[in-house]
Amino acid sequence: MSGIQKSVSNSNSAETIRRQMSTIDRPTSEGIKENNLKQRKPWGLVGLIIILIVIILGLVFMLVKDRIVNYSSEWQAVFLSDGDVYFGKVIKINEQELILQNIYYLKERQNLQGGGASANVGDISLIKLGDEKHGPTDEMQINRDKVMYVESLKEDSRVVEAILKHENKKN
């Protein structure tokens, strides 16, 4: 082959290569964007799932924050900011309220002869809530901002003994 023929055949091969290259699909900027979006979809889905889990956990926490309380003893004394004290069983406590059941309170007996209240400890009686004239139920919802503190009572305390004695009379 002569030099001219080589040059023509090289130019034919170069032309052939150019034609073949023009038929190849080249990625466009739109194709690249579509491909990136396809690759990002799983991460977006994972992010959405994580957000949903956080929302669900938050809702569960909101529902569970009204917790049932397990005190070390069966009976508690609830001291209020106005000086009242109630004895009973705290069954529920949350940020807004404390719920007390099986309620008793102390009442000073009036001295009918002297015209005034006596300061003797023997003149204080334990009253069961519900025995009053207006007939309240045996459950009290107390605003937490009125509660000073709650104490668990010992089983051998005089108050618990009096409560148990009253309970045994009922049965």
Give the predicted TM-score (pTM) of the model.
0.54
Please list the helix, strand and coil fractions of the chain in percent, rounded to the nearest 5, in that order.
45, 25, 30
Q: Which amino acid is at 165?
A: K
CB atoms within 10 A of CB 164: 13
Question: Of the ranges 21-35, 42-56, 87-101, 109-123, which is most confident?
Answer: 87-101
Q: What is the percent of the chain where pLDDT is above 70?
A: 64
Q: How far apart are CA 88 and CA 74, in angstroms?
A: 8
Q: Which amino acid is at 19?
A: R
What is the reported pLDDT for 27? 58
Task: Please report, for the chain, the start and end positions of each structural domain, with discontinuous segments joined by +.
Answer: 3-64, 76-170
Q: How far apart are CA 150 and CA 80, in angstroms?
A: 9
Q: Which CATH number describes the domain made up of 76-170? A: 2.30.30.100
Q: How far apart are CA 134 and CA 162, in angstroms?
A: 24
Give the HSE-up count for residue 136: Cα atoms under 13 Å, Cβ half-sphere. Answer: 12
Q: How far apart are CA 54 and CA 46, in angstroms?
A: 12
Q: How far apart are CA 54 and CA 60, in angstroms?
A: 10
What is the reported pLDDT for 118? 39
pLDDT in tens, 137-166: 889 999 999 999 999 899 889 999 988 888
Instruction: Choose among 92, 85, 98, 168: nearest CA to 127.
Output: 85
What is the reported pLDDT for 14? 73
pLDDT in tens, 80-130: 999 999 999 998 888 889 999 999 998 877 655 554 433 444 577 888 888
